[in-house]
Amino acid sequence: MRIFSGSSNKPLAKKIAKNIGLKLCPLEISIFPDGERRIRVEESVLGEDTVVVESTNTPVDTNYMELFLIIDALKRSGAKSVKVLIPYLGYQRQDHVFRDGEAVALEVIAKILENIGATEFFSFDLHTPKIPEIFTIPAHNLSALSIFAEKIKNDFNHDDLVLVSPDMGGIRRIKEVSENLDNLPYATIEKNRDLSTGDINDSQLNGDVRGKVALMVDDIISTGTTLVDGANLLIEQGVTKVFAFATHAILAGKATDNLQHSQIERVFVSDTIDIPKEKHFPKLEVLSVAQVVAKTLKS
Ligand code: R5P
């Protein structure tokens, strides 16, 4: 197996390769003055099984284009298979038509990946479990939730904990973490968004949280509003402390500041997105998914 990495998340790609006992294969990635990328595979991959790692967070379109070119270069160089690991899958929230006249961005991405020769697709904690069905190649939804459950088992006192899904779409996730933790109780927040602006209109809590330590679990932190508002609601409802877990740390806009100055004690995320230095903040802790990928690829 040969592992290649695009530019967006080399630290994770390196860790995955190391966990499998391999090194990343060299790839020439150059950028023209106008921003166009040029890709060249530097070693023979003729007849080889290959893996490409590329997260498609910001700059989303640039990262996608780079990934497409890497896949094309590998196919043209005779690779037998091209497995594509997109730890954070950009455009995944646009997986169906919300309002008449909208494009379904995720379907466009899937079609391109398949048409240029991706043979298998892997990603993490996809926004809805139906996303793999969009693909006609084998598609796998890996998860950071077991890593979060392990952290909770090791670092938190079980007696006073309650898991919280900060929106109704996360119920499946919260149930999975609860099952991993001997059916730890959970509560849910019902969050209503304005479909045209994306703003959160109002939220309400279902479940018993008073006097407990709340652990919110979400898939994505974009602006941080969901978690910050969720924490405020939980404190209002009598929880003693709030911690947050989320797989993908997009950290858009002022998310870093908002989270650092929020009522959340600590924010645990995974390394599906390589967080730039300027977006790190004291409350943030990053847990790696490299072992999960390595185990999957080895099997
Ligand atoms: C929404 O459905 C997702 O599960 C996340 O809750 C959402 O993307 C987080 O966005 P933000 O951090 O901007 O509130």
Q: What is the pLDDT of residues 87-117, one digit of tens each?
A: 999 999 999 999 999 999 999 999 999 999 9
Whether the CB of 250 sits within 6 Å of ligand 1: no
Mutate to test the pocket of ligand 1, among 91, 125, 218 (most ligand atoms within 8 A of CB): 218
Whether the CB of 222 sits within 6 Å of ligand 1: yes
| Residue 198 scores a pLDDT above 70 | no
What average pLDDT is seen over the chain?
Answer: 95
Q: What is the pLDDT of residues 273-288, one digit of tens each?
A: 999 999 999 999 999 9
The rounded Å distance from CA 39 to ligand 1 centre is 34
Q: What is the pLDDT of residues 245-271, one digit of tens each?
A: 999 999 999 999 999 999 999 999 999
Token pair belonging to 189: 């927040």
pLDDT band at 169 (very low <50, low <70, confident <90, very high): confident
Q: What is the pLDDT of residues 66-87, one digit of tens each?
A: 999 999 999 999 999 999 999 9
The rounded Å distance from CA 42 to ligand 1 centre is 40
- pLDDT for position 200: 63
